[in-house]
Amino acid sequence: MTSALPDFYLISTETYNKFEPRACYIEKRIPAANRQDDFMLVWIEPEIYGIPFGIKNDIEEVVLATRLEGQTLFPINEWPLYVYVCHITNKNWKQGDSLTGDDLAIILWGEIYMTKDEAESVARRYWESME
């Protein structure tokens, strides 16, 4: 996607399948029509395999939304930050429009970390505890 450094790293410890950290690149802020905090559209590397989530194609872009009250994506006010990882289901949505929860499907509960080392360390500890 880009040679720029990632803005942060995404993991999920809420999955049945091992989920390696994803590099995230912020694309844009999306106004939220019915939430206190706006949504964040991010490009992720590597992509997420879509089939387990009922999505034909692999997922390269996701929308993040904060999970816990008092947390915010604009600006990110604490690390790690707990997020919903969403896929846009509204086929009529256009860049620049606001979104509601009805326009999104949560595919994962995730956590974002400032560094790859932090994300890998947490993910490794989690998967080792599951063995």
Q: Is the pLDDT of residue 127 over 60?
A: yes
Query: How many angstroms separate the CA atoms of 54 and 43, rounded?
Result: 20
Q: Is the pLDDT of residue 8 over 90?
A: yes
User: Where would I find the H helices in 83-131?
Assistant: 116-130
Query: How many angstroms separate the CA atoms of 111 and 82, rounded?
Result: 5
Q: Is the entire prediction scored with pTM above 0.85? A: yes
Task: Return the closest-CA partner of residue 77 out of 124, 36, 119.
Answer: 36
Q: pLDDT of 78-110, one tens digit each?
A: 999 999 999 988 877 766 677 877 888 899 999
Map residue 32 onto helix, strand or coil: strand
